[in-house]
């Protein structure tokens, strides 16, 4: 089964959410694509404006740092901390959370 793209999966999302979903799924490192992109894919439709603002800030962070924080190898520093980033990290800590359904 081919991978599902953001627009295949969510044609009725507003443009901002589609753009953020695409950016989350195409980070540059596979680990970050799975942890961050998987979370965003599951929750983008339910995020309010404040969470979308937080997501935009998270997407500006380097993959190396995000992977370390989301994998729990390093704590999230105060300057990058947000309720949404903590929520993503908590979900990423669940075994298998980043594995797409078609690969399970």
Mean pLDDT of the chain: 87
Residue 98 reports pLDDT greater than 80? no
SS3 content of the chain, % helix, strand, coil (to 5): 60, 0, 40
| Class in CATH terms, 13-93 | mainly alpha
Q: Would you list the domain boundaries of the chain? A: 13-93
| pTM (predicted TM-score) | 0.83
Mean pLDDT across 29-34: 89
In degrees rounded to 5, what are phi and psi of residue 48?
-85, 180
Q: Which residue has the higher pLDDT, 13 or 7?
A: 13
């Amino acid at each position: 089964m081919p991978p599902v793209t953001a627009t295949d999966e969510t044609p009725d999302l507003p443009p901002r959410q589609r753009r953020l979903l695409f950016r989350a799924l195409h980070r540059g490192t596979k680990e970050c694509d799975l942890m961050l992109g998987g979370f965003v894919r599951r929750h983008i439709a339910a995020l309010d404006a404040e969470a979308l603002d937080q997501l935009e800030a998270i997407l500006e962070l380097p993959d190396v740092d995000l992977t370390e924080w989301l994998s729990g190898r390093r704590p999230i520093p105060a300057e990058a901390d947000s309720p949404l980033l903590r929520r993503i990290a908590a979900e990423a800590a669940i075994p298998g959370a980043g594995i797409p359904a078609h690969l399970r």
